[in-house]
Amino acid sequence: MEKLDSIIEDEELAGDARMTGTNDFGVRLQCEPKPTSVHELRPQDIDVVGAMGDSITAGNAAEATHMIGILREFRGLSWSAGGDDTMETSITLPNILKKFNPQVKGYSTGTDVRTRDLWFNAAIAGARSSGIPGQARELIGRMKNDSRTNFENDWKVVTIFIGINDLCALEKDPVGASPESYITTLEEGLDILHAELPRTLVNLVEIWDIHLLQQVAHGYGSTPACRAVQAAECNYVSTANDTEIEVIKAFNDEYQRLTEELIATGKYDTKDDFTVVIQPFIKDTVLPYTENGEVDSTYFAVDCFHLSNKGQALAGMNLWNNMLEPVGSKTTVWGIKDLKCPTKDNPYIFTNKNSNQQSSNDIMKHGEIMNKKATTTTKKPAVTSPAQTKPTVVCSETCSQVVPDWGIALLVVTGVVLLFQLLVVICITSRKRSKPKEAEVYNNGIAL
């Protein structure tokens, strides 16, 4: 009897094993080969996302409705690492990438300690640049030990945003918050990633103009409570006088300059499967404005310091758009824009190397002489606040081509000619001193 029971049990186990089918093999249909170079990386090739930084990346206060809520981490809504919901309801970099590769992994989800999944979002609230080397080691450790991903073969995009808390500490810790200290520890963290993380593109997002916090504290949607909390979180900047603001601006600019100088050395372009690209979409910061011309503080959380869910989405959109813009021609002004799409001519995420190649192709294509430096170093222009419009999500399976420069020039010339012809007709008609006939006006749209 015992022998029979044993036989039956063996047969049941064997049956269970048979029922698992091909799931046992971890098979994935992939008709196009993965690239071997980071400079040929397309959105659909990205398998894993990760992030490093401070409370902005941790998603602190994103959906907070009261001041206690600023301590909550809404990691699933993080602009660079959050994966809650879909792109239609939460515009984050991972949710955009899901449109190209539904199997992308590594994004953080949920809120609070018991319900969240950090996965590869290694950001720590309150972190300064000195914490980046530790976060780099933590991120690598997580990736190596994660059974859901393939450390050696998966293509990874890691986004780093750090420096706000450094600038807030300028008064209390002038040495530790100096531009030299900032770039030294940032470089140390990037060196660790470069040495130990295969198949990786690092988005290095430049620090924003933090002195504008004072305007946020008095914009549409701000409150006396938010001003008080902002002063507690970043007192030196929030309460700075005109002289101190100039000092903060100078340090802010130096952070940016040294960051650009570091990446321009090319030290992170020595391997074919790794690179660091500066994404400068908030370098020349222009705050969002309402239709009435007020700073729109609803893009910031209830403390007028962190980003609200709407602000997180705006950052996610602009990060994505920067990734699809060539180095040297990247947008440096934070604003609401339609999501860009890869094109047939430019299917890759732009890097320092393939941006140079694209510039060469443009010269051959259009016969234009272009003299663009492969760096994001620019003098900050005087900018005005753009009118705010609802962002349009346009990235799908097929995307429209951008009108080339020669096409725009052709449209301008055509417009001038038509205007000239219209003036001639008006003159002739006036001379005849006759009542003009009613004319139908047609608006010719150009489908892009």
Closest CA to 229 of 124, 166, 168, 304: 304
Encoded tokens for 28: 């994935």
Encoded tokens for 111: 């809120």
Distance in angstroms (rounded) separating the CA atoms of residues 230 and 214: 9
Distance in angstroms (rounded) separating the CA atoms of residues 48 and 81: 10
Q: What is the pLDDT of residue 29?
A: 57
Q: What is the pLDDT of residue 1?
A: 56
- Domain span including residue 332: 38-396
First to last CA, the chain: 77
Q: With pLDDT > 70 as the criterion, what percentage of the chain qualifies?
A: 72
Encoded tokens for 3: 């022998």
Q: Reply yes or no on whether the pLDDT at 372 is more than 60.
A: no
Q: Reply yes or no on whether the pLDDT at 33 is more than 50.
A: yes
Q: Reply yes or no on whether the pLDDT at 374 is more than 90.
A: no
Q: What is the pLDDT of residue 30?
A: 61
What value, to the nearest 5°, has the Cα angle with vertex 122 and ends 336 and 147?
115
What is the H or E stretch that residue 190 is in? helix 179-196
Distant-in-sequence, close-in-space partners of 42: CB < 8 Å, separation ≥ 6: 35, 100, 342, 347, 348, 349
Q: Is residue 194 part of a domain?
A: yes
Kindly report, residue by residue over 263-307, the tens digit of the pLDDT: 999 999 999 999 999 999 999 999 999 999 999 999 999 999 999
CB 98 within 8 A of CB 88: no
Closest CA to 155 of 28, 325, 33, 321: 33
Q: Reply yes or no on whether the pLDDT at 156 is more than 90.
A: yes
Residues designated as active site: 55, 166, 306
Tell me the pLDDT of the chain averaged across its residues. Answer: 82
CB 50 within 8 A of CB 121: yes
Q: What is the pLDDT of residue 26?
A: 53
CB 109 within 8 A of CB 75: yes
Q: Is residue 384 part of a domain?
A: yes
Q: Is residue 67 part of a domain?
A: yes
Q: What is the pLDDT of residue 12?
A: 57
Place of tokens 């993965």: 34
Residue 286 is classified by DSSP as -
Return the SS3 of 186.
helix
Q: Is residue 447 part of a domain?
A: no
Distance in angstroms (rounded) separating the CA atoms of residues 372 and 364: 15
Encoded tokens for 183: 């770039």
Rg (CA), the chain: 26
CB 396 within 8 A of CB 99: yes
Q: Reply yes or no on whether the pLDDT at 338 is more than 70.
A: yes
Q: What is the pLDDT of residue 21?
A: 52
Kindly report, residue by residue over 157-204, the tens digit of the pLDDT: 999 999 999 999 999 999 999 999 999 999 999 999 999 999 999 999
Q: What is the pLDDT of residue 116?
A: 85
Identify the residue with better confidence: 48 or 415: 48
Burial class of residue 75 in the structure, from the number of CB atoms within 10 Å of its CB (0-12 exposed, 13-18 middle, 19+ buried): buried
Q: What is the pLDDT of residue 14?
A: 55
Place of tokens 């993080």: 78
Residue 51 is classified by DSSP as E
Question: What's the pLDDT band for 395 if we cut at 50, 70, 90?
Answer: very low
Place of tokens 């938010």: 226
Specify the number of domains making up the chain: 1
Distance in angstroms (rounded) separating the CA atoms of residues 332 and 284: 5
Q: Is residue 22 part of a domain?
A: no
Distant-in-sequence, close-in-space partners of 285: CB < 8 Å, separation ≥ 6: 208, 209, 212, 333, 334
118-129 average pLDDT score: 98
Q: Residue 297 belongs to a domain with what CATH number?
A: 3.40.50.1110
Question: What's the pLDDT band for 385 if we cut at 50, 70, 90?
Answer: very low
Q: Is residue 115 part of a domain?
A: yes
Q: What is the pLDDT of residue 234?
A: 98
Q: Is residue 241 part of a domain?
A: yes
Q: Is residue 406 part of a domain?
A: no
Question: What's the pLDDT band for 368 if we cut at 50, 70, 90?
Answer: very low
DSSP code per residue over 29-45: ---SPPPSSGGG--GGG
Return the SS3 of 226.
helix
Q: Reply yes or no on whether the pLDDT at 149 is more than 60.
A: yes
Q: How far is CA 45 from the centre of its chain?
A: 17
Closest CA to 51 of 244, 179, 202, 166: 202
